[in-house]
Chains A and B, each alone.
Chain A
Amino acid sequence: MTIPTRRESRREQHKKGSSGAKVTLRNTLIAYAFMLPFLILLVVYHTWPVFFGTYLAFTKYNVISPPQWVGLDNFRELAQDEQFWSGLRNSLKYILVVPVIQVLSIAVAMLVNRPMKGIGFFRTAYYVPVVTSFAVVGLIWTWMYQQEGPVNFVLQALGLMKEPHSLLNNPFTALYAVMFVTLWKGIGYYMVLYLAGLQAIAPELEEAAVIDGATRLQVFWNVTLPGLRPTILVCSLLSTISAIKVFEEIYVMTSGGPAGSTYTALFYTYSRAFVDFKFGQAAAGGLIIAVISILFGLVNFRITRGGKADA
């Protein structure tokens, strides 16, 4: 184990307290000098956007001239903008991906957790989409979804569709088609996290349950799943937040179309800012998305009971 346990690091800190270099002005300056470049960049590109972005939500701003305070005007405009609401609806609809991706990646993780020959190949294969850029992935699936393309071929061969459709050009299917790409690209990522979670469960627990006569399903339900609870919390939180903020796949594959059917909340803020140059209104939209994702984070936390394995 290269990663120290919590106890080890605490011991480390204790030792530091007793025999580490003395706290002098010189040492303090050296410490801050080490952190200076990082902290400057952190403040400029991470902290500043949080505060200035919140402020901008109450202003009119086009980058060139300084922001003008307009109070709640941006929010009033957002409330009346049908496009914003449909963006918000689509973003919330996108959360449908979360349960599907979690269940599938737990299943896949359990499958690749089996000690079988060549299992390394499969783990690697499932991870390839994760390391590929959305620029590439989006283009590949745009081609795959063409009317005469492989996706239609498979759907027809399975008897799920009678006639070929251009799935990304149909307002009823486009959002789901993009969701599938998110799913396809994300499974490998969560698989690795769940794999780590599974390997952290003591094998003795599962063996003891088997000796006590538990069926496979009972072992999974009563031992494996509770053991995975902390991982499930982290993973569903990550995927819920990224579902609400879905953007890149939309940007590459549909640009919000057809007929606004894939227009998501973050795509709305993007177009307000970089197409219409209404940065204030974009910031207001961003603020609303931020609040929503905090709320979802809290709900998530409650559902998984804080990720405590013994809850």
Chain B
Amino acid sequence: MLEPQPLQRRAATAQETAHVASGLRARRKRKNLLINSFAYLVLGLIALIMLYPFYWTLITSFEPTGNIYQAKLWPSGWSIKNYVEVFRGTTVPFWRMVLNSVVICTLGVTFTVGFAALAAYPLAKMRFPGRDLIFYAILTLMVLPNEAGLIVNYSTTVNLGLLRQDNPVLNVLAQYAAVVLPGMASIVGLFLIRQAYLGIPMELIEAARIDGAKELTIWRRVMLPLALPTIVAFSILEFVAYWNSFLWARIVLRDKELLPLSAGLLELSGTFSTNSRAVMAGAVLTIIPILIVFAFGQKYFMKGIEGAVKG
């Protein structure tokens, strides 16, 4: 890449050199073309491995009958009967599970992001005794392995009375709370948002304080708007995390009616074992919201996980 430049300069004085230079450039171009086509070949092959399983599931879910697990590029026939079966919800309450997922994601994202955004403010922009202590304690907690987390959190949830079965309305709310509460204090989120706050000029906050603004007002009117890109990025990451999580919900929920979609999908695969295509239809329906969010918030994802590691 750098070689042609000195050669070019000399070409102004010597004719032959110019000839050699253009020859060199042509060869380099050919070589680059070869490398590039090889690179595209490899890239395409990897893309095929990464995407074919999804594509295969999609086309198979539209087949009415036939050899289900066969490798294929095109479905043997088209039908929406598997989707109708899922939508009807004869064995698993599909729409109820969609509702559960929406409730769990809304509660989860709102409070996780809100609590992290609140807690990050004093850690980034206030002086108070114990600040460094709290900061480093949280940092330590992040690296401390916690393999008994599932077990202890289950016992905590039971002991908090969140799984009690005595009042139909309250129990539903309590079980939703049981699902979302353990994930609500996100250390990664706290660090991401704190990092964004640190970049906000102190003068803005000072000016607001001199004008007599309350800290909560400063947080809402100055910090949140200026840290918005990070907050949006973190919200998207959290949405995906809550939408995708299934294990804790399956452990903790007594009421199968309250399962979110991803956990319900596993129930579906148990009850629908006679029609795997319907389960495939369910899998496709479970992925769609994630793909939409991912398509729109792609750049946030990349920034988010880079920041999570740097933070």
Label chain A's interface by main secondary structure: helix
Among B7-15, B19-27, B115-123, the one that faces the other chain is B115-123
Within A78-102, the residues touching B (CB, 8 Å) are none
Given A136-B283, A192-B306, are A126 and B71 neighbors across the interface (CB < 8 Å)?
Answer: no
List the B side residues contacting A286 at CB < 8 Å: 147-148, 151
Q: Is A188 within 8 A of B50, CB to CB?
A: yes
List the A side residues contacting B244 at CB < 8 Å: 131-135
Q: Is B209 within 8 A of A193, CB to CB?
A: no
Within B46-84, the residues touching A (CB, 8 Å) are 46-47, 49-54, 56-57, 60, 67-71
Q: Is A32 within 8 A of B50, CB to CB?
A: no
Q: Is B129 within 8 A of A23, CB to CB?
A: yes
* Cross-interface CB contact of A135 among B56, B154, B190, B286, cutoff 8 Å: B286
B158 is an interface residue with CB less than 8 A from chain A: yes
What's the least CB distance linking B55 to chain A, in Å?
10
Q: Is A124 within 8 A of B156, CB to CB?
A: no
Q: Interface digits, A245-284 against B, CB 8 Å rule (1 contact, 0 not)? A: 1011001100000000000001001100110000100110
List the B side residues contacting A162 at CB < 8 Å: none
Given A27-B128, A124-B298, are A251 and B247 neighbors across the interface (CB < 8 Å)?
Answer: yes
Among B85-93, B102-110, B168-176, B260-268, the one that faces the other chain is B260-268
Interface residues on A, range: 35 or more
A12→B199 CA distance, assembly (Å): 8
**Which partner residue on chain B sits nearest A132 by CB separation?**
B287
Binding site for B on A (CB under 8 A): 2-4, 8-9, 12, 15-17, 19-23, 27-28, 30-32, 34-35, 37-39, 41-42, 44-50, 52-54, 56-57, 61, 63, 108, 111-112, 114, 116, 119, 121-122, 124-129, 131-136, 139-141, 143-144, 146-150, 153-154, 184, 187-189, 192-193, 195-196, 207, 210-211, 234, 241, 245, 247-248, 251-252, 266, 269-270, 273-274, 279, 282-283, 285-287, 289-290, 293-294
- A-B pairs with lowest CB-CB distance, top 4: A53-B148, A133-B244, A286-B147, A38-B119
The contact sample of 28 A-B pairs, CB cut-off 8 A, is A8-B198, A9-B199, A21-B127, A23-B129, A35-B119, A48-B156, A49-B149, A49-B153, A50-B148, A53-B147, A56-B151, A57-B148, A122-B46, A122-B47, A126-B46, A131-B240, A132-B244, A133-B290, A135-B266, A139-B283, A140-B283, A143-B276, A241-B145, A273-B150, A282-B151, A283-B151, A285-B147, A290-B148
